[in-house]
Structure 1
């Protein structure tokens, strides 16, 4: 596929969503249960219109689950399946939180706001579920800090790649139209 063939917004979106799914596969292999879904949700929210942001976030989650259950041998138990589904819903909620936060600010401030909103929505949702099922003793400040740092580094890397790509001529052609804001 040539750059010329990627002239339609749909082609660019599909390629970008596919790239995020591939990154998800790599992160899953490296971090297993600590995949930075909040970072993926935030970069999706600031890179795509609402529909494609949710599709991208869902694709990232699905790729993570496919690798986890297919190759990393996550147990096929009700609890594991329920947590997997919950993580998918939480990732989508995080994407929406990031999208709403990024609409208030532009540039780096908007990107940071999107990331922080996604992370707070993600971790806050997990905390609410833990509280509801009586697992608050699992809450660990150092563990949460580790997850924050993984997400922050991943988001920073995604933001840097997005910025670099949009500053090159080929990158401008690939990313043109991806950041269109549609409600």
Structure 2
């Protein structure tokens, strides 16, 4: 069941997209545990507490400060009219002034990969962030061998801008990343 306090921001043809709040902690725990093995090659090493409802609730509560300061927007999405989280979209590190940019991260339940759900939710989320936060640029980086992320970002219009050696410590080792960015058209 969707928490009654949930803030649905928008819907797409097949999904409902919500701001991630502490009310989603139980559903987020299920999502993370169900996909733990699938996400491991693409994420930092995680302590066991990362997957607990209490740990999730604590991270969400801390992230609320960044949201209130207009520095981030953390989203989750479900199938339309469902309570099961199938994906997350994180817009973080918002910088304003002359830069007007932020970073994007995303993950999708392995059962829904290859069906266009991430592209569908991300397309609308990008539009939402542009309208609500006035950003000019969104940056998204991925492991060099992560073809799914590469394809999703390319389909969204992201352009590869560089390559960073030993960029992030993923799954216990420093790994190279491809640097991408999407620049919103000036007339928007």
TM-score norm. by structure 1 comes to 0.29
Q: Which has the higher helix share?
A: 1
- Higher RCO (C-alpha under 8 Å, 6+ residues apart): 1
Q: Which has the higher strand share?
A: 2
